[in-house]
Each structure stands twice: as structure tokens, then as C-alpha cells.
Structure 1
Amino acid sequence: MMTIDRPAEPRGLSHAEAKARLHQEGANELAMTGQRNIQAIALEVLREPMFLLLVGAGAIYLLLGDVSDALMLLGFVFVVMGITIYQEYKTERVLEALRDLTSPRALVIRDGVEQRIAGREVVRGDVLILAEGDRVPADAALLSCNDFAADESLLTGESVAVRKLAQAEIGELQPPGGDDLPFVYSGTLVVQGRGVAQVLATGAHTEIGKIGRALQEQETEATPLQREIAKLVRKLAILGVLLSLSLLLIYGLSRGDWLRGLLSGITLAMSILPEEYPVVLTIFMAMGAWRISRHRVLTRRVPTVEALGSATVLCVDKTGTLTQNRMVVQQLIAAEASFSIHADTTPLPEAFHELVEFGILSSETEPFDPMEKSIHACGTRYLANTEHLHGDWALAHEYSLSPELLALSHVWKAKDRKEFVVASKGAPEAVADLCHLDAAQLAQLAEQVNSLAAQGMRVLGVARARWQGDAWPDIQHDFEFEFLGLIGLADPVRPTVTAALKECKAAGIRVVMITGDYPATAAAIAQQIGLDAGSGGVISGSELNLMDESTLRARIVHSNIYARMVPEQKLRLVNALKANGEIVAMTGDGVNDAPALKAAHIGIAMGARGTDVAREAAALVLLDDDFASIVHAVRIGRGIFDNLRKAMAYIFAVHLPIAGLSLIPLLLGWPPVFAPVHIVFLEMIINPACSIAFEAEPAERGVMHRPPRSPQEPLFGQRIVLLSLLQGVFVLLAALAVLGYSLGQGVSENEARALTFSTLVVGSLGLILTNRSWQHSLLHTFDSPNPALWWVIGGAFSFLLLALSVPFLRDVFHFAPLTPPQFLLSFASGAASIVWFELYKLLHRH
């Protein structure tokens, strides 16, 4: 038998002990799949079509005897590989950091202090605090517990919850599934009660580790955006292959040089190959999730980032999201007497002592709930050194709150008394029902409750009873309760909420408040924060139960406040909103909120007060539970989608002149402009521009002053495709004009190539600058800081100047020296290619 050390107040491990065990025994996690180290990323890059094309081009140069060209091209291959590997590695590290942040959290005691840590940091010997809704982070033995039950279906397949009891002596760890055992198991769910447990096994040594079942490994369905990108890539890849084969045949048949034809075909394939699209999508989504996490919002499912810009309705809890979840007892009512709590030292009249006393007895001894903490604080302030505080009483039995009866009761064994004392608190109407109040008493109670609720207070009823007997009653109604009074608690509104609501209104996002409070309380809070209740007024949970689905769908259009709601009713609200065509984001924190969170398009769990089950069902987790953080995430999400669209449009636009200059001169009988080395140079501009510079671009200033984006709106709608096509065509025309003019002037082939290439590079850089905003002018965007952009542009332009001026690089690129007027011609032509788009933006604004 193994005996567990059970100090009255366990101190847990020290930080040094925990760190040593973590190092010695490893992290508390199962073998992870999907993680890539730098070697795996490098191997993936080696298999990329672009890399294979570059190697093929290098081999052809060697066959042709152009050793310097081959070596330079292969050197560029390693540069491009390095850039790609760095970008992929950075993305992988971001995803790894997000995995750490969003891993299940555990509440442990270390050095006698409670603290939340990542589940992977739990070690053998840690003392866990477990509560209803928590996911157990490791196999452990209960030191103490109260009405504790766990769902072990993950391990046993049995859906019935298993009752747990703490025991003084612990034998060998038993298999899961048995009642009255002291063991809890990693991955299982606490469905009832609270407990303190000591960790026996972590990671691969847990029951779930031994049988090799991996958690959270679900096949993820591709999002509409991912499917759209994949479809576009397939089309462009097929087009590239067909054009390249056609060019090979044309070149070989017309000029008889099949090796050069193959080189031209490879060059054209490289110019069209759309390998940037999936890379950009991955980087934008991962970096977007990381940026959102820096604003206290964790993204558990990265594709959610793209959905944020489409949200039309935000369904939010009042308590803790719109308010600070920092309850303060403000008013006490006993019989017809009332007492207001102030900051002064006025003593509490004797008539209210029992009300506070039984409010404390009906709360947890070490509460986590803000209301119960506030009631305890009130008792400490007013009842110290009186007979009304009972630290030596023992909790004998508990009756939990349920959807059918919104009240709970604690049964206490008092010292030197044969009878038990019962304390109950909950919704005033539920406690009144327990006390069997008559019509006159109910009328008086309703008036008192409405008075407190109209002031924005949350109201609790308190009652007491006594019990003598050998067996506990099955239900609370079997006690003979006496009504003691009401406790009114105030929860201050978050100072950021009013401004966030105004931002939502400007952005066309409707805010719906859902609360368990009284309608009057909800209406008072809504008035404080400036939330319009709507023409349909406040809808209560009892009213909602009387509505069929069609009635609810009709009513929900005109009402923004829903009071006296239980978690199960949230699912009906979400489904009704979805049936009306809304894109729904919803917050939740409890176990019963999980279905609604999963049903919503964007489920948002509370990180501070939420349960693990809610967090696992949600797509986003609010670390600070603040409504303003949701709005900030929406703003970032809209900006991310805008920048993604700009990056994709840029890729589409810039590939057009590259492909055109690879094909058209050969069809016209002109000398070839591009070789693979030129495409590699351009890729060194395109890749950082679309994946780094555009990703780091600040959101447009008016991003929250337009309606939500329709989820059916494609990334490449007709307007976007047409504008991108025109951007590319104008750059192509500018470069072809310079090429034709220079050849007409009788300059050398290398001079014409240098002029044309310079025009294309300047035009490509111009495309980056003009696509920073599709609303404001290029000059206006200079006010928005983006250091990454200037590194990309500065680096590309500097390298172009080096390629034109350094003899060795000129030979590699087959350039001839340019005079200042010639370079000015190229610069002006490239810059002029974007003037039309600047004029279009000006006309579009006005």
C-alpha cells in the first residue's frame, strides 16, 4: 500500500523540485505529431518543384558549358532555399508557441501558492486543484474531495460519470472506470465537485499514454479559403506546364536548339509556378494567430483568423466580459429592512447578521466564484469576533445547483449540536420556492428584487433550515426552509466596453448580451454601456422556452438582450441566429456552454474563469475575458484578411509580366530576356514581399468602418482578378515598350536585357507600394510604419544596382553597363506602370 502525504494545507512541490523533475522525467505530453524540425523543413524544400526546376536549369548550363552561370544559379538556389527554410522555420516556431499557449492549463500548488501553468509543465508529485469542468492534466490520487465525479469515457467508453472518494492509503494505480476509487486520470473530465489531488504519473506513463491514444488528433477540413487557393494553384500549374511544353516545341522546331528551348521552357515554368500561394496562406494564418495572441486572445484553430472578418453578431456574457467580474456586496434586505454597504465604518445592524452568516455557509469555504468571495469579504468585515462565523463547522453534505432549480444548499455539522444546519442561496425565485412563500410574500419579494435589479445589481436569495435524521433527503425541497433575505451585488462595467461597442456599431457588427441575471439587471447594465435593447425588448429564458423555432427566429432579429438564460438555451439562440444567415461569434465559460461554442462559427472561451471543456470547444480563448479584446481580435482579423488579399493580388500581378517577358520576346523573334538566374532574383523580391512585408502591413484605418465581409465572398472575386490582371499587364507593357525601344535603337542584347530587367524590377517594387492600400494613395501609406517593407524594397533595389554596376554580377546576369539616362528611362517606365492604379484609387474614393 502507498500512503499519500496529506497536510491540511498542502504546499506542493517547490519550484526547484518541479523544474528538476521536468528536466529529469520530461514534459507531461504524449508524442506530438505534425511538428517539423529544420531538417524536415529542408527536405520538404528540396522536393519543391521550384527547387527541382532550378537544379535542372543548372544541369543544362553545365551541359552547355556555361560553368559560371551554372555555379551562380546553384548559389542562388541555396540563397532561395535559405530564405524559404527561414520563413518555414519561423512559422513552425510560431505554431509551436501557439500550441504551448493553448495547451490545457492546470491549477497547481507550488511553494504553498496556487498558480495556473501549462498542462505540459505538470510533474509527478505536483498538487492539483480540480473543479467541475476541468480536464485532468495527469494521473493523480485525490487527497480530498467533495461530491466528486469524473467522466472517464475517453478511456473506458462508458458515458456514466464515475464517483470518486479520497482515501487515506493508496494502493497501486487501478484501471479507470470504478466507483469510489481515489484515482483520476489524464484526459478525463471533472463533471461534479471539487478536489485536491497529488500527481502519480505524467506523459507517456499515464493510462492514456500506455494505451497510445493520442488526444486532439482530428482530421481538419479545409476551409473555403484553403480550397480556393488550392484550386487556383492547380489551374496555374496546369497552365504553366502547357505553356512551357509549347515554348519548348516552338523554340526547338523554329531554332533547332532543344537544350536552349528546354532552358526557356524551365524559365517560363518558374515564372508561372504559383508556389508562393500556399506558403503565404500558411504564414499569414500562423503569424495572424500570433499577433492576435499578443492582444490576450489565443487562437486554438488557426483558420479561425480568416473568419473573424465575417462575424456579423457577437453574443457575449454580461458577467466578466462586459463587466469586471469583481462582485461587491452593495445592498442587504431582510424582511422590510434594507442596509446599504458603504466605505464608512457603520456597523451592520443585528437584523442582517443571519443573512450574511447563512450567505457564507451556503458558499464554498475557499471560494473561487467572485460572488462568494464578496460575501465572505462582507462577513469578515462585519461579523468578525461574533458568533456568526463558523470556521470549526464541518461540511456534511451538498446539493448542487441545477437547471431545474437555480439554488444550492450546504449541510453543516455544528460542534456540540446534534442537529445539522442547512444554508441555501440562489436565484430569489428558486429560494422563494424552497421556502413556500405565499402570494403576498412573493409580491413583496418581487418588488424588492426589481428594485435592486433596476440598479444593475445581481440578486441572491438566502434561506436556512435544520435537519435531524440518519439519511439525507433526495432533494432540497424536503427541508423546511425559512427565507432570510436578499443580497444585492454590484459588478462594475469594464471601462473599455463602451468604446468597443461603438466600434462594433461602426463596423456593422451587432452585439447581443446573454446573461443569467434578471431582465431589469441586464437592462440597467445595457443602459450603462450604451447597448440598444432593440425594438423587441428584453427576452427572458422562460419566454424563450415558449417560442417555437420560427417565432424565435422572428423575435431574435429585434432583441439584443436575453436574461435569465441557462447554458442550454444559448445553443437555441446560436442556431436561430445562424438560421437567419448571421455569422455568429459567441462567448462561454461553463461545461454546458460547449455545445453552443461548437455550434457558433467562432466560439470564444473565457481564459480566466472558463472551464477546460469550454476552452477545448472554442476556436478562440480570451485570456483576460475582456469584451474589448474580442473587438480588437476582429479588427486584427479584418486587417489580416485585407493584407492576405493584397499579397495574393500582388503575386498574381507580378507573375504576369515575368511570364510575359519569358514568352512574348521569343514569339516575336526577339532575343530571350530572362534566364533562370533572373527568375531567381525576382523570386528573392516576391517571396519576402508577399510573406513578410504584406503580413506586417498595419490594418487600413477604415477597417472597422465597413460592414462585415460576406463568407461567400471569394478571395479572388471578379473585381480583384481584373485589377490584379491590369496591374500586371501595365508593368508588362512598360517592360515590353522599353525592350522594343532599346532593340529599335540598335543597342546590344545585354543592354536591352539590363534595361528591360531594371524596368521590371522597378515596376515590381512599385506594385508592392501601390498595393499597400487599395483605398489610399501611395504617398498616404508612407504614414503607416512597416520596417519589413523597407528592408525588402531597399534590399531589392540595392542588389539591382550591384547587378548593374559590378562586372562579375553583370556577367552572371548577362547585362551591359547602363548610362544614367538609360537607367532613368527604366526607372521612369517602371514607375509609370502603376500611375493608372493610383488614379483609379483617387476616382474610387470620390
Structure 2
Amino acid sequence: MKKNQLQSSYANEPLDKLLQDLKTSKNGLSQIEADNRKNKYGPNTIHRNQQKSQLKAFLKNFASLMAMLLWVSGLIAILTGSIELGIAIWLVNIINGLFSFWQEHKAQKATDSLMAMLPTYTRVFRNGKIEQLNSKEIVPGDVFQLQAGNSVPADARLLEATSIQVDQSALTGETVPESKTVKFKNGEGKFSESNIVYAGTTVGSGDGKAVVLATGMNTEFGKIASLTQKQNTTASPLQQELNRLTKQISLIAIAVGLVFFVAAILFVHHPIAQSFVFALGMIVAFIPEGLLPTVTLSLAQAVQRMAKKHALVKDLNSVETLGETSVICSDKTGTLTQNQMTVNHIWLMGNVYTVTGQGYINNGQLKQENKAVNYHDDPALIQLLRVSTFNNDTTVELSSEKKPKILGTPTEAALVIMAQKAGFDTSKELKQMPRVKELPFDSDRKRMTTIHQTKDKLFVAVKGSLDGLLQQCTKIQINGDIRPITADDIKKINQANKNYATKGLRSLAITYKTIDFKDKSQIDNLNADNTENDLIFLGLTVMADPPRPEIYDAVKKCHDASIKIIMVTGDSEITAKSVAVKIGITSDKARVVTGTELDQMNSKDLKQALQGEVIFARVAPEQKYKIVSTLQEMGQIVASTGDGVNDAPALKKANIGVAMGVTGTDVAKDAANMILTDDNFASIVAAIEEGRTVYSNIQKFLLYIFNSNVPEAIPSALFLLSRGLIPLPLTVLQILAVDLGTDMLPALGLGSEQPEPGIMNQKPRAHNSHLLNKHLILTAFAWYGAIASLVSTIAYFFVNYQNGWPMKDLMSSGIVYNRATTMTLAAIIFCQIAAALNCQTKYTSVFKLGIFNNHRVWAGIVFEVILLAILVYTPGIQEVFNTAPLQINDWIFLVIVPIPIFLIEELRKLIARRKYNH
């Protein structure tokens, strides 16, 4: 494992030499020197990414490929003489850009409100006196005090330490706090030196004094933040796909326009200028002007739905990206688990008790064989509860929230809650047996001792690691009997400890003894050598950081959706695998790769490991980044979850980073695309469903829009192929009336469709699949489009038939001609009514969802009928759009049109469901 600068130099340097190098002393700096150093090193703050200028953020919404295409199409509409419609196209672009900017601005403001960098105040020695200073005023060489509950404001080396334990889970992912001492010891893994404390960590218990080694961006916290900020933000898969789609549509539109331009010259002998305007009209017809508004609306609605489910999305495109996710790299502590150590078993030689209830909440009880028990019935259990709470420096402050405030270490908090669940009255017991001395925990002894006094006895309570403590025991208590401990007893105790360890559970040995009390001078002479021996073994308290209750269902949904979950944690191999197997992420056959092994792996070996069931344990920040990068090289769309500083580089590198809003560090939140405001992993599954729905809805929109392109083009093709004998059945302005008028609201309604049944039982879409695929093109052009073309052509000749055709020539002007083109326009609109209903589902019957399920679609249908009536019957508008009033026979024809089209499509979906088992 690579060592950082502090590990390699400061930690092992003689203290006097270190203070000399830092040009400071145990009494700290003078105010003048501190000011000079602040000018040199800057404030003790973590700099966030350079914020984009508001102007650039605003303008980017009007400069995408599709936006540029809309600007051009608006210009084309103006060139065709349709100034009003050209302006309308531009207004659509402006409204869409403003809407996108506002959504992202709101998300960024919500994210900013979550940020609170570093602790506010620290007790610092200045001019030889203790002062309460804002932590951003701290400089290298400052000396400050540490107390239980304090956040560490900077990287520092301990000068004094009394029973200090530090929660480093934000850096390492390790649940168990690290013990810190003045004496240097190099522990396992990164950030494990016994005499160094790091910025961004929290003091769980004890107190001490430390000298600052590094501040701000020079701390390990800051270096990881800097690494995160160096990652370039790449276009999301949706952005890439929309860019590709824009190019495809542009090529199709230009190709169609070119064909019609040449045909107008060759077949109809139009002048070049007139042919050019005619071709421009066809190009505009093939541009889906409503695409960007639909995409934005779909994403915004998904964001709003997710906000109600406690998921804050910082960027609209992130929703769809999460919908494409094929792999989730998830941290364990605080993400899959509750980050709350919980005692779930009490193992005594005579009895084993189950402790019900999870987390730091007093809502459980003791059980034996599923029956509630009273701790008074077992004298050994009474003593175990007494030792667990006496030998304890942690307090649990109940609050109005579900999670109480913990002042101390998670392990000791678990013991306090265990006793509360059993009904043990600690305060009453302590009044009878007050503490008179403490022998603090240290990493050599791996145990802690407290001494309590009664009238004629001293009660010695000892808890710690079984390895070192069991050999100090000469007796064992079973129920009310105390007898010498035997080799068979020791074997059973060790076997029980091993059994729990293989399940990823952590055991803590509980022992005690009593000493006859003589006088107070006796207490002063007690030390570890003459106190922590001849102990009576009581049992083991067995604890774990429990999985979140909702995680089981969330994991199952991910597997049903063919999404692989890979645990990437700083915790131990045994614990990591135990949790992964328990919650169903992997089977017990999964391979566990440690950080040390990962360092030795080349790219080929890592890719091979990632193809199977794998868990990563004891990993460092840069290694998480390596895992995410390798998965992306393998073609995976990767979501990375986490809450610690160690997760930030991977969050930034991933296709989408998901940070925890409650327990997450500021750096993690800043790096992420999405923040779970309730730290609920299940919200990710909801986001995946929303993302898949967004993509599906965009395809529904495209299918609906392209439906009308064919019947818009076929009349013009008839005009060209007949060399003008068939007058133009549909004018350019009527085509634009469909694209920018009647089609818009139903299309937007399709963008708000709810998830289709079974969407979470499908595999993530293939990386090389596209919005505009072969199936969509065939369905739009060869099915829907062909039917609509046939119907609209019949409608055109239907009007002419009523007026004497084929005995009379087709009219090219006048009221009959205008009525015929109006009928063609109306037929396309009524075919689109059926299409709007049909496009709500891909395979599922619309009747199953409810034909009136989507009110926005029906509002759009009502709107397009009203708009058609306005175009047909309003004087002035009739002249602009070449329309004329329709007769009763025409309306009967139009009203009947959607019914067979809708039913034919329902039959096709039924056949498809049976064929493909949808």
C-alpha cells in the first residue's frame, strides 16, 4: 500500500525534531506568526470546483446541436414566408432553454444548501492561551485541543492523548474507530498511523492535544477533493445520443429536401427558387421541433418525482444516465448499512441471548428461543450488562429524530443501547458503585478498565479484544456459579468467537473481578499489571453494523433489472463478504479482492475479476477510481455510490455518482450527480426506473412525431411523381401547422408517461443501441406512417370524389381545392389522435393501463381538435393556411378514422406479446 507524505515523514519523526521543523512549540504560535502563515498558506478551507459563469451556464442551453437545428429551422420557416411560424419555432427554443436553465439552477441551489465545509470552531493555543477560533483560521504549526464529539479541523500529530478513538470512516470506510496514541505505530492500511489525526474525521472518545501538519487543500481530505476536481466532466450518454440523433435527423431531412428539390425541377419544372422554398418546407417537416422540450419535460418531471422520494438530482441528464446503469459500485458503511453498530447477540457459557431491534434506538428487547427474557433471571447476564455500561465513556442523547445523538464511539453506543433494551438502569447502578479510576484503552493491551467503589469492595470492569483478554481470565461465571476456567471452556469460547467472525460479526469480551477495599491509597496504586489479571470471564457481546431494512428489496430489484452490484469498501474482507452475502449482492462463492491484491493486478486480471462475482475490501480512494475506470473500459455504464471523502474520485469518474446527503461529506456531495437526502439506497432503484421511463418516453415521442412525417411527405411525392397532374394535397404551411401546432401537446403528453409494466424486468439497454433504431423507424414509417398516408390520401380524393372526380379533373385552386387540402390535413391529425393513444405503450395493451390514464395526452388531443377547428373556420386564418370549411360527411369520415387504426395496433401488440412473451 502506498504511503502518503504524512505517513512517510511526520508520523515517525522525533517529536522535538518535528516541532523544530514546523517552527512551533507545544504552546502553539503567536498571533503574529499565525497571521503570517495564513498569508502564506491561505485559509483552512476546501475549495470547490470553479463554478461556471452564470452566462455560460445560461447560453449552453441554447447552443446544443438540436437547439442550433431549431434556430436554423426557424430561419427556414421565415424564408418560406411563414414569419409567424418561424418566430414560433424560435420561441419553442427559447422557452425550452429557459426551462432547462431554471431546473439546473434550482438543483444547484439545493445542493449548495447541503454544503458545510469543516467544523466551525476549534480550541487553539495562541500566544500561550486557549482561544476559540473559526477553523478556517488554523495554520500549520498551530496547536489545538481535541475532545469527544469534535471534528478534526486539519491533519495533525498528537502531542497528548487520553483514550482517543477517532472515527475515520469518511476516509477509509472502516466502521470500527481507530485508537490514537502519542507513540507511533504503523497500522494496517492507509491513514492508520497511531499518532496522526486527519481532517474530516471525528473524535469518538477521549481527549488530547495536537500540532497541525497541513491545512485546507494540503490535507489528505483536500488532496482527495483536488483529485476529484481534476476529473473532466464528459457528456452524459443521453447528451451523446441526442447529439447523434440530431445528426441523423439532419441528414434525413436534408436528404429528403434534396430529393424533393431535384424532383420539383425535373418532374414539375418549377423554377429553382420555387423548388428551393418547396424543399426547405420538407426539411422543416422532418425536424422534430418538440424533441428538446419533450426531453426536458420528461427529465424535469422525473426529477420532481424523485425529489419527493428524497433524491436530489443536480443535472437533468443524470436521471436518464442512471436508467442506463449496468453496474453499481457501492460503498458499504452508511450506504448499504446503517452506520450504527448494533449488538445482536450476547453469548454466555450457559446461555445465548438475542437482542432485537436495530440501530441506536431503544426499541428492542432480550430474547431466548424467541421468548422475551428478564435479565434478573441470569446473574451472569446482570454482571455483563453492568460491566458493559460501567466500562463506557459514551452517552446516547435521545432527540425528536429517529437517530439519537451519540457522544462517543459506535461500539460503546451499541453497548449502551443493548443495556437499555434489556431494561438495565445504569444511572441507578452507578450511584451505588461510582467510578473511581479508569485505565484507558490502548492498542497494546486492546482493552479498557474502569474501577468502581462500593462500601467494602472495588468492582473492576474490563472489556476488550478476546485474544488478549481471555488469557487474563482464571475463572468463568455461568449463571450464578463462579468456577475455575478450563481448557474445554477456552476452546468453546474461541469457537464461538470464530463462528461469529465468519459471519462478519464483531465480538467484544466482557470480564470483571472484585477486590477488597482497604483505603483510598489502594486505588492510586492500581494499574494494568496488578488489576487486569485473575479476571472472571462473563461472555461476548456480538455486534455488527446492520444492513438498511429496505436494502434487501432494493438489491432484488437491481438483480431483476440485470444490474450488477459490486461492493467496494474500506472494511475488512470478512465483514464485507458477510454483508454482501446477507443482503443478496453476491453468493458465498464471490471472490474477495483486497486493496493490496488490487495494487498488484494488471488491467487484464482486474477485468477478469470484474466479470465474475467480486467484492473489494480494504481499498483506498485511488483504487475505487481504478475499479470504476476499468468497468467503463469494459463498456459498462457505472453508477458509484458513497458518502466519504474516499468515494469522491470514483463518484466524479463514474457515469453517475450518487452521494449520501445526511452522512455524506461535502466533497462527496460536490462530486456526485445525485444526492440521496435520506441516505436510502432504495431511492437509487426508483431513480433507475425513472431513468428507463424517460428513455422509453423519448422513443414514444419520436415514434409519434415520425408517424406524421410520412403522410406529410406522400402528398408532395404524389404531386411530383404525377408531374403536377395531382395538385399538391398538402401545403407547406399546413405541414408546419401539424409539426408546430397540433402535434406538440400530445407529444409532450407522451413525455410524461408513467413507467410501463415490466420495465424493471428488462436488461439495461445495450451501449450501442440508439434512440432512433431500426424497429422505431420501421414502426413509424412502414406501419403507422403507411396507414396514415393511405388514410390522408383517401381523404383528399374523398373530397374530390364528392365534387365529380374522376369524371372531372382534380382542382388546383378554389374552394374545392382548399377543402381537399383541409381534409388531408384533418385526416393526418385524426390519424395522430389514434397514434397518440397507441404510442403510450410499446407492447402492453392501452386498455390495461387505462385508456384515459394520461390526462396530458387527452388534453393534447382536445387541443389539436380545437386548433383544427380554428384553422378551418376562422376567417383570415383560412387564407393564410389555404383551408376551407368541412362538410358533415367529412367530419363523419374523420371521427371514424381513429377507431380502426387504434384497434389494429392493439391487435399487433397482442401478437407481439404472445410472440416475445412480453
Which TM-score bucket, shorter chain as reference?
0.5 to 0.7
Number of the residue aligned with 1:375 = 415
| Cα distance per residue 1:12-53 (max 9 Å; x no partner) | xxxxxxxxxxxxxxxx99765256899997999999554565
Secondary structure of the residue that 2:427 maps to in structure 1?
coil
| Cα distance per residue 1:658-693 (max 9 Å; x no partner) | 344455424531333223364045313344444x31
1:805 partnered with 2:825:
no
| Cα distance per residue 1:265-288 (max 9 Å; x no partner) | 332221123454455445544543
Secondary structure of the residue that 2:658 maps to in structure 1?
strand
Number of the residue aligned with 2:856 = 788
Map 1:508-527 onto structure 2 (within 5 A). 508-510=562-564, 516=571, 519=574
Secondary structure of the residue that 1:384 maps to in structure 2?
helix
Q: 1:537 aligns with which of 589, 592, 606?
A: 589
| Cα distance per residue 1:458-477 (max 9 Å; x no partner) | 5446899xxxxxxxxxxxxx
2:347 and 2:740 mapped to 1: Cα distance?
74
Distance 1:575 1:268, change over 3 A: closer
The answer to whether the 8 A contact 1:556-1:577 is kept is yes
Number of the residue aligned with 1:671 = 727
Number of the residue aligned with 2:777 = 721
1:349 partnered with 2:345:
no
| Cα distance per residue 1:142-193 (max 9 Å; x no partner) | 99646999899xxxxxxxx577999xxxxxxxxxxxxxxxxxxxxxx93544
Number of the residue aligned with 2:794 = 737
- The one-letter code matched in structure 2 to 1:384 is S
2:498 and 2:540 mapped to 1: Cα distance?
12
- The one-letter code matched in structure 2 to 1:754 is T
Secondary structure of the residue that 2:199 maps to in structure 1?
strand
Number of the residue aligned with 2:663 = 609
Number of the residue aligned with 2:886 = 818
The answer to whether the 8 A contact 1:322-1:627 is kept is yes
Q: CA deviation at 1:215?
A: 10
1:520 and 1:48 mapped to 2: Cα distance?
54
**5+ residue gaps, structure 1:** 4-27, 62-72, 104-116, 130-136, 153-160, 167-188, 197-212, 415-420, 465-478
Residues 727-736 or 335-344, more deviating = 335-344
Q: CA deviation at 1:761?
A: 1.2
Q: CA deviation at 1:697?
A: 0.1
1:151 and 1:729 mapped to 2: Cα distance?
69
Number of the residue aligned with 1:157 = none
Distance 1:32 1:538, change over 3 A: closer
Residues 329-338 or 791-800, more deviating = 329-338
Q: 1:706 aligns with which of 762, 765, 784?
A: 762
Map 1:486-501 onto structure 2 (within 5 A). 486-489=540-543, 494-501=548-555
Map 1:211-360 onto structure 2 (within 5 A). 219-241=232-254, 243-244=256-257, 247=260, 251=264, 254=268, 260-278=274-292, 280-300=294-314, 302-314=316-328, 316=330, 320-322=334-336, 324-332=338-346, 342=365, 346=375, 349-350=382-383, 353-360=386-393
Number of the residue aligned with 2:186 = none
Distance 1:83 1:484, change over 3 A: farther
Number of the residue aligned with 1:473 = none
Distance 1:816 1:361, change over 3 A: closer
Q: How many residues align?
A: 721
The answer to whether the 8 A contact 1:334-1:351 is kept is no
1:80 and 1:789 mapped to 2: Cα distance?
21
Q: CA deviation at 1:794?
A: 1.4
Q: How high is the TM-score relative to the length of structure 1?
A: 0.68
Q: 2:677 aligns with which of 620, 623, 629?
A: 623
Number of the residue aligned with 1:634 = 688
Q: 1:90 aligns with which of 83, 92, 99?
A: 99
Q: CA deviation at 1:484?
A: 9.3
The answer to whether the 8 A contact 1:95-1:286 is kept is no
Identity %: 22
1:843 partnered with 2:843:
no
Number of the residue aligned with 1:650 = 704
1:777 partnered with 2:777:
no
Q: 1:102 aligns with which of 111, 115, 118?
A: 111
Secondary structure of the residue that 1:360 maps to in structure 2?
coil
1:785 and 1:818 mapped to 2: Cα distance?
31
Q: CA deviation at 1:101?
A: 3.1
Distance 1:581 1:395, change over 3 A: farther
- The one-letter code matched in structure 2 to 1:537 is K
The answer to whether the 8 A contact 2:310-2:676 is kept is yes
Number of the residue aligned with 1:119 = 115
Q: 1:758 aligns with which of 812, 826, 843?
A: 826
The answer to whether the 8 A contact 2:324-2:764 is kept is yes
Number of the residue aligned with 1:183 = none
- The one-letter code matched in structure 2 to 1:295 is K
| Cα distance per residue 1:784-808 (max 9 Å; x no partner) | 7322222222111221122223334
The answer to whether the 8 A contact 2:750-2:840 is kept is yes
1:504 and 1:267 mapped to 2: Cα distance?
47
1:423 and 1:592 mapped to 2: Cα distance?
35
| Cα distance per residue 1:719-773 (max 9 Å; x no partner) | 2322222232332333233334544635621011101000111222322221111
Distance 1:228 1:533, change over 3 A: closer
Secondary structure of the residue that 2:709 maps to in structure 1?
helix
1:448 partnered with 2:496:
yes
Distance 1:395 1:783, change over 3 A: farther
2:833 and 2:436 mapped to 1: Cα distance?
77
The answer to whether the 8 A contact 2:660-2:669 is kept is yes
Distance 1:369 1:666, change over 3 A: farther
1:485 and 1:680 mapped to 2: Cα distance?
82
- The one-letter code matched in structure 1 to 2:495 is E
Q: CA deviation at 1:499?
A: 3.8
The answer to whether the 8 A contact 2:635-2:767 is kept is no
Distance 1:626 1:43, change over 3 A: closer
Secondary structure of the residue that 2:755 maps to in structure 1?
coil
Q: CA deviation at 1:629?
A: 2.1
1:383 and 1:742 mapped to 2: Cα distance?
94
Residues 755-764 or 33-42, more deviating = 33-42
Residues 550-559 or 643-652, more deviating = 550-559
The answer to whether the 8 A contact 1:320-1:626 is kept is no
1:615 and 1:324 mapped to 2: Cα distance?
18
| Cα distance per residue 1:491-524 (max 9 Å; x no partner) | 6665544444443443334556677478599659
- The one-letter code matched in structure 1 to 2:312 is L
2:902 and 2:708 mapped to 1: Cα distance?
12
1:398 and 1:312 mapped to 2: Cα distance?
46
The answer to whether the 8 A contact 1:45-1:85 is kept is no
Distance 1:651 1:412, change over 3 A: farther
1:771 and 1:349 mapped to 2: Cα distance?
69
Distance 1:390 1:771, change over 3 A: farther
The answer to whether the 8 A contact 2:325-2:563 is kept is yes
1:49 and 1:555 mapped to 2: Cα distance?
45
The answer to whether the 8 A contact 2:289-2:740 is kept is no
Q: How high is the TM-score relative to the length of structure 2?
A: 0.63
